[in-house]
Structure 1
Amino acid sequence: MLRAEHLAFAYGKEAQTYDFSFEAEAGAVTAISGASGSGKSTLLDLIAGFLAPKSGTLALDGANLLPLPPETRPLSLLLQSDNLFDHLSAHENVALGLPKGVAKIEGRRRVEEVLQRVGLDGLAHQTAATLSGGQKQRVALARTLLRDRAILLLDEPFSALDDETRQVIRALVGELTRSEGWHTILVSHHEDDIAALATRRYRLAEGRLTPA
């Protein structure tokens, strides 16, 4: 279980004060909805460690995450922007997620395995610039698989996709969340995405999360 209790933050003395409490289960998608500017990205930044809370707790299976810097937190982030290097191939982009010290042959095997799992084994050597939006999100998901981290943060990850591709990638995210046991947190304005994926829902308003 990923659990936050009264995770508090404010950008300034006169700004909105946020107080976040939530639970996210392994193998399930927890969805956060709310109006633009309600603080959804602030919440993700606190979980990722890009912002430091004034008080409160954030723990994964009882282990405190707050002292950990962003680069050592057990999480991956999937955004509307795929964060790929256009000049690198799909294989090379995914390989960036390999831990240091992995032997070349073993690294190649791992990359090929995750590309196959997301349906991209035939496009491994195409540059990211030549891939479609859905294919790029598959590359980003393959890199997430390779990193093997317990938490997946999704910030409007399907917004740039057409409806047909959106449904396919959305289903893949749900499938991987269940099979890998990820604690997936989805921030979205789109009710269709939330309805298709979420097993637990919160609404963010006036700096607070409430079950929806």
Structure 2
Amino acid sequence: MTAPHRLELRDICISLGSQVLLELDAEIGPGEVLTVMGPSGSGKSTLLAYLAGFLAPDFQARGQVLLDGQDISPLPAEKRGMGLLFQDPLLFPHLSVAGNLRFGLPRSVADKAQRVEGALAQIGLAGFADRDPATLSGGQKARVALMRLLLSAPCAVLLDEPFSKLDTNLRHEMRQLVFDLLREAGLPSLLVTHDREDAEDAGGRMIELNH
């Protein structure tokens, strides 16, 4: 059982030149999902870029990003402990499904094959280890991307409209899987979206950004 994590966003302000794009002050506890909603251009993806550590130099940002009480905003992206889930699954095409999942596992994990098989069973893809990612459906690819993220043992998760490219009938099912596993793992998560149904299924607090 991993220790519970907490993500705090203190007095975040992101600007482009003289224009303030967004201001945000929030706390996300273990297993909670905070949804930030807004139209295109409202600064949602810019917020995620700042939290993850790859904000473009054109933007200016201030405020603290605290993970378990430590300010991680000065740290490079790879040192922040953030897991990211995007609109596209971004699976490695040259690796099998198992290879993609092994990529997420820390080097210290001993029995990687057993962990991968257990992870696939958990997302309803038992027996898919040797499959080529190109042969998977959109929903299956999304499940593999989610499990790869979880196997990497992040301390917090950022979700960048991860359901927007799924078929409508798959979205609710995929949302439930994602949010259930994040809650089970006790991970504080921030979801950015323009879809109100995403926020409703997330079940947590919601902040709406103006354009």
The answer to whether the superposition gives a TM-score over 0.5 is yes
Counterpart CA distance in 2 for 1:74 and 1:29 is: 17
1:7 pairs with one of 12, 22, 34: 12
Tell me the distance in 2 between the aligned counterparts of 1:118 and 1:97.
Answer: 16
Partners in 2 of 1:173 and 1:102 — Cα distance?
23
Distance 1:114 1:123 in 2: 11
What do the CA deviations read for 1:5-53 (whole angstroms, capped 9, x no partner)?
A: 1222323x34444332222121121101011100000110111011285
- Going from structure 1 to structure 2, the CA distance change for 1:54 and 1:199 (only over 3 Å counts) comes to closer
Sequence identity of aligned pairs in percent? 42
Selected match of 2:204 from 194, 199, 203: 199
Instruction: Find the aligned partners of 2:50 and 2:153 in 1 and give their Cα distance.
Output: 21
The answer on 1:83 being equivalent to 2:85 is no
Q: Superposed, which structure 2 residues align to 1:87-166 within 5 Å?
A: 87-103=94-110, 106-166=111-171
Q: 1:174 & 1:115 partners in 2: Cα distance?
A: 17
Cα deviation, residue 205, structure 1: 1.9
Poorly superposed stretches of 4+, deviation over 4 Å: none
Counterparts of 2:116 and 2:201 in 1: how far apart (Å)?
29
Give 1:115 deviation, angstroms: 1.6
- Aligned residue in 2 for 1:42: 46
Name which of 21, 24, 31 aligns with 1:20.
Answer: 24
In the alignment, which residue of structure 2 is the partner of 1:209?
none
1:202 Cα offset (Å): 0.6
Unaligned runs of 5+ in 1: 207-212
SS of 2:107's partner is coil
Contact 1:114 1:145 in 2 (8 A): no
2:60 counterpart of 1:56: no
